[in-house]
Amino acid sequence: MKLLVFGCGYAARVFVKRLGPDWDVVSTTRGEYGPTLPDGGFTGVTHVLISIPPGENGDPVLDTYGAETAGLPSLQWLGYLSTTGVYGTRDGGWVDEDSELRATNTRGKRRAEVEGHWLDLWRRYDVPTHIFRLAGIYGPGRSAFDALRAGTARRIDAGNQVFSRIHVDDIARVLLASIKRPRPGAIYNVCDDEPAAQEAVIGHAARLLGMEPPPLVPLAAAGLSPMARSFYADNKRVSNALIKSELGISLEYPHYRAGLAAILAAGG
């Protein structure tokens, strides 16, 4: 089996490390006009993972290579890493894969549009598209511990707002499970069992480190950048029932406490 990775970022690298010796893995490089295919292009590619986000000028993978994926006879699985931001806000209510897309910011709207185009390629040309809507990603080297140690962690009082999140190792497990049980056209929410407030996660991580948690700061007085502030526009709880019932996933880290404890135990 041969995997082509568009954008070998944090989650994609962890996933690739989980693949066995039967896999040949190649990735794109960053070119002047977008991702550049490795030598050989799509030759022999059986699986494609896309983790490059769309930009102001569109989606570089879809725009440049989308049509090519429609003519690959060897392609068995294509995974597109999207975001739960496509749902927008539900004032703390639950969403699942059948919920209406109501993105509140430009990033979420772009993701929703690109999802639609990849699914259209599945409907029209049988491209084996699978959409993975990822919650906030954390893991070794990218957790509340790192922000606390760097002195940049802040506890924001955003009222009753909660976020869904997912440990990077569980993302890899979901992708592997999907490859073993492909269902072109599938959409999966990838998140843990327990949506929680940002300040609760920072406070718990500080206690694990034996540190005094940063003071709680009201959202209106936090002086956040427009980008940082946009993450607080959404308030929802994301259901992960489908990855459990269809892919047989039992999360290794069902909540942030388990994930943080594992990171700390491993020296993270």
Distance from chain centroid for Cα 96:
15
Residue type, 165: R
d(CA 247, CA 45): 23
Domains in the chain with CATH codes: 2-136+166-191+240-252 (3.40.50.720)
Q: 74-78, 117-121, 149-153, 227-231: which has the minimum mean pLDDT?
A: 227-231
d(CA 165, CA 83): 11
DSSP 157-170: E-TT--B-EEEHHH
Say if residue 208 is exposed, middle or buried (CB neighbours under 10 Å; 0-12, 13-18, 19+): middle
Higher pLDDT, 208 or 56: 208
Q: What is the mean pLDDT of the chain?
A: 95
| Percent of the chain at pLDDT exceeding 90 | 90
Q: Say if residue 201's pLDDT is above 90.
A: yes
- Extract the tokens encoding 173: 């497990």
Q: Which of the four pLDDT bands, split at 50, 70 and 90, describes residue 121?
A: very high
pLDDT of residue 267: 85
pLDDT in tens, 158-183: 999 999 999 999 999 999 999 999 99
For Cα atoms 215, 219, 221, give the angle at the middle one, nearest 5 degrees: 80
For Cα atoms 207, 211, 216, give the angle at the middle one, nearest 5 degrees: 80
pLDDT of residue 266: 93
Q: Say if residue 33's pLDDT is above 80.
A: no
Q: Which of the four pLDDT bands, split at 50, 70 and 90, describes residue 2?
A: very high
Q: Say if residue 32's pLDDT is above 80.
A: no
Closest CA to 61 of 39, 42, 89: 42
Secondary structure (3-state) at 243: helix
pLDDT in tens, 82-91: 999 999 999 9
pLDDT of residue 30: 87
pLDDT of residue 268: 60
Residue 181 contacts by C-beta under 8 Å, 6 or more apart in sequence? 246, 247, 248
Q: 25-39, 45-59, 191-205: which has the minimum mean pLDDT?
A: 25-39
pLDDT in tens, 67-113: 999 989 999 999 999 999 999 999 999 999 999 999 999 999 999 99
d(CA 259, CA 206): 14
Averaged pLDDT for residues 42-66: 95
Closest CA to 27 of 11, 46, 17, 41: 41
pLDDT of residue 228: 82
pLDDT in tens, 220-267: 898 888 888 888 989 999 999 999 999 999 999 999 999 999 999 998
